[in-house]
Structures are given as structure tokens and as C-alpha cells.
Chain A
Amino acid sequence: MAKETTSQHRDESTGGGTPVPTDSVDAALSAVETDGLSGYNYAYLDEHTKREVRRSMLKAVAIPGHQVPYASRPMPLARGWGTGGIQASLSLLGPADTLKVIDQGADESVNAANIRRLAENTAEVATTTDTTKADLIQSRHRIPEEVLTDDQRLVLQVPITDALRKVDPSDAANRRRHAHKNYGKMWVHLYENVVEYGEINIASRYPTMVANRYLMDPSPIPRWDVPKLDDANHLTILAAGREARIYAVPPHTSVEPLAFEDRSFTVERFPEQACHACGSTDTYLVEVSEEPGTTAGDDDTAASFETRYACNDSSFCAKRRENPNLPKDHHLDRSGVDWGPATPDGGENA
């Protein structure tokens, strides 16, 4: 109802200022006196703002990989903590949606819990930790291990919007480079990497060409996740709050990491390691240093810490602990779907 009223007034607007229904004065005043979030609009942001964010997203989808400026609003979360992602999510969510929020692979991370709580309290959405049950996934720096489908949207939180920032801090200069598709400086940077280190030493935020046109910072996802963006079934929205930019990778768009013929793109390696909990060898693992158990000898120094590997995607790891052979495309009609590196059945059957 509120939505209709406001859009009506918007249409009558003649630029400069936003006409508002007069009853919103009372609404705003009562909001001041109301405790908690009950005085706020559905999904926290007002309808004009959500519409503006959606417009920016549409533009971003129309020009894959291009950074679209939008008026990032101050959110009740600190900038740099997912404010771009949550603005994108809240602009897309409706009451019938199910939301999953992950931070560095974990649903339980305190910041993910905080973002999820904001969406739950204001947008009345259902939440899940199960990747396959989510309509919208907001993630900081990971793409889930389970294959995303064309019914799903992925919102990645972005700290630094421009891959070229590595080689030039000036946005004005970099916007010119993007306009001219002039990525020479990045190529030189990669070449100098090879000269200095023998290989490219970029860990995450790997510079990636989208639809053979725009160089994109895919957000600090590990290199492991970059191939999942190529020709994906799902829509990926990348949203930065602090830097006020939105960009997107629409479904079935080519996404190609920059590399040389003789120095190809490589993902993170976990030689001869498996997750200590579920035994997976085809997932992104992180090292866990733990104090040795009582059986682990008598040496008390730091050197005696045990390093174990664990799945980073905690939700999929839980499923694998139940069913160790669960493929990453178990929820799809067809099998053998290729989804990033180390997708064994994808590789064999494709």
C-alpha cells in the first residue's frame, strides 16, 4: 500500500526534491517515538531508495562488469561491513523470499548473523543456512560450493570496486581506462609479477574480464571461486556501500581471469589435504591451527601446534559429514554440472 502511494507521488515530481505524502510526517514522528525497528519502512530502506538501487542493478546487468554509481545510503552497519550488500539484498527481497547470509564461508559468523538479523527484523524474510534452499544469498568473499541455479541470486559484498586500483589509485583515471578498454597497465603489472616472482602473485580479488569488455574486481573471493562466475546460471550482483558502486555478472556471461599463455591462471592448491571433518578433497579448505591433543607429545612451544584443514563452506561441510559422496550438483535435475575447480563428476561427465 505504502509502495503504491509513494510511487504515485514520485511520478508527479518535477525534479529537485522528493514530494512525499503528507501523512509521512506523522509516520516519521511516530517512528521517532517507537522502539526498535517497527517504525521503519519495510526492508528498512524507503521505497524510493530501493527503486533507485534496483535501477542501478538493472543498468549493471545491462552492462556486465561496468561499475554503476548509486547513492549508497548510510546503513545501521559500519561502512566496509557489508552495507552495499545489504542495500542490494534489501532492495531485492520480498516477504516470500528465503535469505542466506555468509561471511567468509560461514553462516554463523557474527557479522553474517548481524546482517541476517537486520533483514529478518525489517523484511520479514525466512532465513536458511542451506545454499540450495535460498532465493538470495548475500556473501562476503565466497561463492558457495553447491551449484547455484537460475532461480537464485548471489549478492557479493565488495570492499574495493576497481581491479585497476592496484595499479592506479585514481578513479577518474581508471574510469577513462575502462571507457577505452585500456588495460595495458594491468597487463604490465601482471608481467612484472612474473618477472619478479616467476608467477602472478595476486591471491584474491583476481582481475577478471567480463563479457570480453570490462575488467572487473570480482570482490575478494578466492581464485578458487572465480571460474564459478563464468557462464553461470545465476545472477551475481556485486555491491559496494562505502564506494557507492554496483556491478553485475548476469547469467551465462563469459568471465575470464587475466593470465598469460605460459603463465596460466591457477586456483589455490591443497596438495594431499582433505577436510578433517568431512573428508572432502574438492572444496576450498582453510587451515586451522589447534593446540595439540593430550596425545600429541610434551613439547609446549608454538611449533607443536597442529595444522589441520577444514572446509570453508560450513553449510556444505555439514551435509558432507552426513553424506560424504554428496556431489556439488546433487540438487539439480541433471548431473555432471561443472562448477569451478575440483568438481570431479563435472570434469568426468561434461
Chain B
Amino acid sequence: MGYVAVTAGEEIIERAADLFEKQRLAGDSEGLDVDQLDDQLGRLTAQAMSEGGLYAPRLAALAVKQAQGDTVEAAFLLRAYRSTLERFDETPAVDPGEMIATRRVSPAFKDVPGGQILGATKDYTQRLLDFDLVDGETADPTEEWEVADEGDPERLTTVTELLRSEGLLHEPDEPDVDDPTDTTRESVTHPPDRDAVLQELARGETGAVTALGYSALRGYGQVHPTLAEVRVGRLPVRIEHPYTGDEVTVTHADVTESEAVVPVYEKREDPQFAFGYGLTFGRNERKAIGMTILDASIQLDSDDEPAENAEFVLDTIDGMDSFGFIEHLKLPHYVTFQSILDRIRAIRERKGTAGKGHDDLADEESAERAPVAEANDDG
């Protein structure tokens, strides 16, 4: 009887969920614990946090475990949970220049103040499967390193700060309002403000951000940016102390930040670079750079290319929206399908093709080969 169960709807739902749970437990291996996921699959939990719009590594690890590794489903669990929580406070905006960077590369300049910091990356290695990982863990390769304590890290001047001081970079207009838009509390209407665009991009599905960003590079757009820098590090989360009113740091969040300049001159008389910005929770350089391209593209505000059309990008970028609507096609559509059947049958009757199967029509067509346009004249 399929998925319209006659009486046992509830029980069937529960059993289907139980079977799903069993898939995770069916193998002989030890169960994954949440700490393992948090420690060892940081990219996965970062993606769930970034798309879920909630910085909570352990909850993200739990969501990834529960979703059996499906990042969009994990992000969805986080968003649904987040929406039930009261908001206690808002944090003052933090200056990304304060970041304690563990990685910082500037493709724009060879020498930047603070230098290039390669940090932890496998970007420049050969992608070969490491079969040693099959049988347990290798020893910590950094164990023998002699690391001198050089004190607190210096503040890194951002590359865009350098360009700004020279007047090469377009200064964006001051926003009309002080408080940032929050698209989770106020639905997006078009044309959207840039802060709403950035928020939606920051919560965008990694694959969608990458694909649409790539489309602009691939030729469906004008933006081929030069990355000013890509940085990975920690930013402080501050709140105003409820009694003293002083700003206090309550925790830190790992983020990836990307800034790019685009040789599109905003004004003819005073040529300046346009720029794009990207920021994601956790380590996700691909998404941060994709977001940067999309931010820069959207500022061109054109209907010519998909990535330059804010409406197109924001309508398609959200993983919760696209996942939900694409998968809803699995729901019953008996009513609407019956309605469609009625239309196609009525039109076939009108055209005199009703009741004829494929073979009958094929015979007729080979005999006559009526051009399509002529067949339409019946109407």
C-alpha cells in the first residue's frame, strides 16, 4: 500500500526511523564518539556549523553523527535546534584584523606585513592515498619539533588595509542603519542589503557556493579576482558585561576569512578596485573563496550572469531550502498528478490523439509525417 499507510502511519514512521538508526549500528566496528568526530573530522563539523549558522563544535559533531555524515542534514539539525533557543544578547562586531591566524597566505603580494604563514595544509602535497592510515594511527610527526615560545602573536595587517591606505580600494557606502540585518529574523526581500547577502552566503551550502563561484570564473561572469589573502584562525567572541558594560571575551571561534580585489573600476574618473569578502565558521577555504567571488559578483548587480544576480544566487544557495524542496518530490503527488493527467488527456482529445498508444501513433506518423506546426492548427 506504499507510503499512505491505511492505519499504522505512526508505527511505520517509527520503524523506518529505527531501520535508519540500525544502518549506523549494523557494522562490527566500534561506535564513533562525538569527541572523535570533533577532533578528527573537523572539516565535516565545520561545514555543518557554517551552513547551520551555529558555532557549536560538539553539537555539530553530534549532528554529523546523527545524520550519518550527511552535512546538509547535520546543518539542518543545528538550525532547527538553534531556532528554539532564546537570544540572550548580541555581540559587538569584532574586527577581523584581531584574528590570531594559524594560516595566512596572500596571493596578491609576495611580502606582506607579518609574512606568509603556511600553517597546516596539504595544499602542496601529492594526493596519494596513505595506506598507513588503514592500520591504525601514525605517530605525531611534529613530536620532535623544537618550538620556541615567541610570546603573543602580532596583529597582522590585512592586505586590504594596505590597499585602502593607498586609496586603491573602493570604500563601500556607510550602511543606512546601525544594526545589521538578520535574515533568520527578517526574510530576504529584493533588492537585499549587502549585510543580508553576506549572511546568506555565509550560511550557503558549500557545494552551491563553490559551483556558483566557479561559474563566474568559468566565463559566466566578469569577476576574476586576485585574492588579497586567505586566513584561518580564531576570532574572539565578546559580549558587553551586563553590569559593568565593558566588553569581555567569552570564547573564541575558528573561522576562515578571504578577501579579494577585483579589477572592475567603480568610477571612471578615480579608478579603484572593487572587492569581495568571505567568512565561514571553521576551516573551509573553498567556501570562503567561493563566497568572496559571489560577494564581488553580486555587487556588479547585473542580470546578465547567474552569479551577478543577487536574486538568483540567494534563491539557490541555501542548502536547507534546496535540500527540502528537492527531496519533497518524494512526497505523494496523487492529487496534482491527477490534475495533470486531466489536462493532457483533454488536449489529446482535442488533437484527436486520445486513446492511441505509442505504436498506433508511430504508424500514423510514418505514413503522414505531419509537421508539428500544422498539428497545432487544430486548436
List CB contacts (< 8 Å) of B250-282 with chain A: none
Contact B191 A78 (CB under 8 A): no
Q: Mark B330-346, 1 if CB is under 8 A from A, else 0.
A: 01111111111111101
Give the A-B contact count at a CB cut-off of 8 A.
185
Q: Provide the residues of chain B in CB contact with A171, threshold 8 Å.
A: 189-190, 311
Q: Which residues of A contact B86 (CB under 8 A)?
A: 18, 20, 24-25, 27-28, 46
A242 in contact (CB, < 8 A): yes
CB under 8 Å from chain B, chain A span 54-108: 69-76, 78-81, 83, 103-106, 108
Q: A81-B328, A104-B333, A141-B336 are in contact. Are A195 and B379 (CB under 8 A)?
A: yes
B71 to chain A, nearest CB (A): 15
* 0 or 1 for each of B367-379: is its CB under 8 Å from A? (1 = yes): 0000000001011
B4 touches A110 (CB 8 A): yes
**Interface hub of B12, B16, B336, B350 (most chain A Cβ within 10 A):** B336
B186 at the interface (CB under 8 A from A): yes
- The reply on B145 being an interface residue by CB < 8 A is no
Which of B4, B89, B327, B328 is in CB contact (< 8 Å) with A109? B4
The 8 Å CB contact of B335, one of A78, A196, A286, is A286
Contact across chains for B10 and A74 when beta carbons are under 8 A apart = no
CB pair B321–A108 under 8 Å, yes or no, is no
Given contacts A17-B90, A74-B320, A142-B335, contact A31 B84 (CB under 8 A): yes
Which A residue sits closest to B179, measured CB to CB? A16
Q: Which residues of B contact A (CB under 8 A)?
A: 3-7, 9-10, 12-13, 16, 76, 79-80, 82-90, 179, 184-191, 311-312, 315, 320-321, 323-328, 331-344, 346-347, 350-351, 376, 378-379
In the assembled complex, 21 residue pairs joining A and B whose CB atoms fall closer than 8 Å, in A order, are A44-B84, A73-B184, A80-B326, A80-B327, A81-B324, A104-B334, A108-B6, A108-B7, A110-B3, A110-B16, A113-B9, A170-B190, A171-B190, A172-B190, A175-B189, A175-B190, A196-B379, A202-B343, A224-B339, A286-B334, A286-B335
Interface of A toward B, CB cutoff 8 Å:
15-18, 20, 24-25, 27-28, 31, 40-41, 44, 46, 69-76, 78-81, 83, 103-106, 108-114, 117, 140-142, 159, 169-172, 175, 194-199, 201-204, 220-224, 242, 244-245, 266, 268-269, 284-287, 312
3 tightest A-B CB contacts, nearest first = A198-B379, A79-B324, A244-B187
